[in-house]
Amino acid sequence: MKSQTLGKQGPKISALGFGCNGLSLQIPRNDEESIATIHAALDAGITLLNTADFYGMGHNESVIGRAIKDRRDKAFLSVKCGMMMSPTRQVLGLDGRPASVKNFCSYSLQRLGVDVIDLYQPCRVDPAVPFEETVGAVADLIKDGKVRYLGVSEVGAEHLRRAHAVHPVMALEIEYSLACRFIENEILPTARELGIGIVAYRVLADGLLSGAVTSEPTGPHARLAPPRIQGENLIHNVAVVAQLIELAKARGVTAAQMATAWLLTRGDDIFPLAGINRRSRVAENIAALDIALTPQELADLERIFAAGTIQGERYPPFVQKFAAK
């Protein structure tokens, strides 16, 4: 497993991370398989485990806590807080008040069964609370020995600078993929200027880039589907991704592996999160690290996924208003 330094002066962690949210979204849940999957990832050298206290309403942290009980030294825990959600996954709002952040951290420490969280980050900017106060609460937790490093999530360049002025920011978690490249204009250059690593999530753009999504989502959670996988946007975007699938097929790899390999070419400060929901998928995801894209393949991907090619917002309106621009 390739290791990279997180941020300018952070620890060395695996170049590929494990986005654990999917372990709590499975119906029905299978905690024993989830624990075995985490063990397989850790044994393969993936150290970055990414979660949030609102993933599965605490379920995700509890599963991770069971999985790392005897393997704490192998795991780098990244935890988000601040999203208020109903049991039906309806977003109720944000809470970035300092007292709330510290309270959230206490519960996360208990569910994870650890004394310290490696990377702790507000999941969004709470518009009702000065961001400096929210970040300051994490800085207090670092002083108290409950957190090692400050992270932020889904913030633009301005809020990134504001946070960094309060306490050094080690990582920015934000969406980045072939299908979603908005951070390249201002956010990524700012992060690099400040020496902040990028933890990239939704690297397959809701399944678009793997070819898994070809029809509109149905069922109770369809309202959570982003516009880019609905209606005319979906038809257009599937046609675009078909070109990626053909490129990957010619190379003898999957479209998901090629999309992840592309992200790994963007710099040693980029840490893609792989969504792995069963142990059999660990090796498939890690294989992306061994794919060296040719200059022609890179040029083809730049042409296919030029800025603005993928149509539709990345979140439904009630979440998009809280997203970074």
Cβ neighbors of 51 (< 8 A, separation 6 or more) are 20, 21, 60, 61, 64, 77, 78, 79, 80
Of 291, 277, 251, give the one whose Cα is nearest residue 21: 277
Whole-Å CA distances, 287 to 4, 23, 234, 252, 319: 17, 21, 28, 12, 33
Whole-Å CA distances, 209 to 232, 253, 303: 17, 13, 15
| Residue 140 CB-density burial (10 A; 0-12 exposed, 13-18 middle, 19+ buried) | middle
Of 16, 33, 30, give the one whose Cα is nearest residue 278: 33
Instruction: Return the exposure string of 30-45: e unless at least 16 CB atoms fall within 10 Å of the residue's CB, then b.
Output: eeeebbbbbbbbbebe
What are the backbone angles phi and psi of residue 70, rounded to the nearest 5°? -110, 15
Of 27, 5, 3, give the one whose Cα is nearest residue 14: 3
Catalytic residue positions, numbered: 55
Q: Which two tokens stand for residue 279?
A: 């142990």
